[in-house]
């Protein structure tokens, strides 16, 4: 028997790790069990946040780099989208005692912007304290993937975005950041996801159901 309670799950990892695939699988499996859930993503998740997402994505395809957003402008846009998402979708769902499954959240900001682009961490911490407050993830699932598997998956994508164009060394560095943040944290679980097997899907579902009991 699963209690009807608010539960916030986040999938994190580099591009091609399978987080979007596994978050969708988990959502489908919870629906089959009649566990009230929503599936959402970042950046985006609400109409206003999706507008900001499109602005960010377009910026990274500008040929003239002098016109591209400064790294702090870029970061603040992500945080603005997050605020819209948290206020208009995540908090209402949690207050309704739903399971929220989110494809990316705050760890992506620390991995890509703080670690990758050297944005000031203290500043990001302070902003998160304001826009997120007590609504932190109950469980963060970090998917670890080999560079080869990641690249093979990215190549198969019909629609590519800004993240698909970074170098292998950048992805490796970002993945190390995700793993460091997860290490020793009770609300973080790391899965090897180089192969999206039925066993991985089952292991993730069993982990979530155990936490929901």
Predicted confidence (pLDDT) per residue in 34-43, tens digit: 999 999 999 9
For 25-70, how does the pLDDT look when each residue is reduced to its tens digit (9 = 90+)? 999 999 999 999 999 999 999 999 999 999 888 756 555 666 778 9
CATH number of 7-212: 3.40.50.300
**Percent of the residues in the chain that have a pLDDT greater than 70, as a whole number:** 86
Instruction: Please report how many Cα atoms fall inside a 13 Å half-sphere around the Cα of residue 27, on the Cβ side.
Output: 18
Structure pTM?
0.90
Q: How many CB atoms lie within 10 A of CB 141?
A: 24
Residue 40's nearest CA partner among 124, 80, 98 is 98
pLDDT at residue 163 greater than cutoff 70: no
Task: Give domain limits for the chain.
Answer: 7-212
The answer on pLDDT for 159 being more than 90 is: no
- Residues 193, 99: Cα–Cα separation, whole Å: 23
Map tokens 């993730």 to a residue. 204
58-79 burial string, b = 16+ CB within 10 Å, else e? eeeeeeeeeeeeeeeebbbbbb
């Amino acid at each position: 028997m699963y209690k009807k309670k608010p539960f916030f799950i986040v999938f994190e990892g580099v591009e091609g790790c399978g987080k979007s695939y596994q978050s969708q699988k988990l959502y489908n499996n919870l629906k089959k069990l009649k566990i009230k859930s929503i599936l959402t993503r970042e950046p985006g998740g609400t109409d206003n946040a999706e507008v900001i997402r499109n602005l960010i994505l377009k910026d990274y395809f500008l040929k003239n780099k002098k016109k591209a957003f400064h790294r702090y402008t870029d970061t603040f846009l992500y945080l603005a989208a997050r605020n819209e998402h948290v206020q208009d979708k995540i908090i209402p769902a949690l207050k309704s005692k739903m399971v929220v499954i989110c494809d990316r959240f705050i760890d992506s900001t620390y991995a890509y912007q703080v670690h990758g682009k050297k944005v000031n961490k203290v500043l990001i911490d302070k902003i998160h304290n304001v826009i997120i407050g007590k609504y932190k993830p109950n469980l963060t699932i970090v998917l670890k993937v080999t560079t080869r598997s990641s690249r093979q998956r990215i190549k198969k994508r019909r629609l590519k975005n800004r993240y698909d164009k970074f170098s292998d060394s950048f992805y490796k560095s970002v993945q190390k950041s995700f793993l460091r943040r997860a290490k020793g944290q009770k609300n973080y679980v790391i899965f090897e996801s180089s192969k999206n097997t039925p066993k991985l899907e089952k292991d993730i579902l069993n982990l979530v159901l155990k936490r929901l009991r």
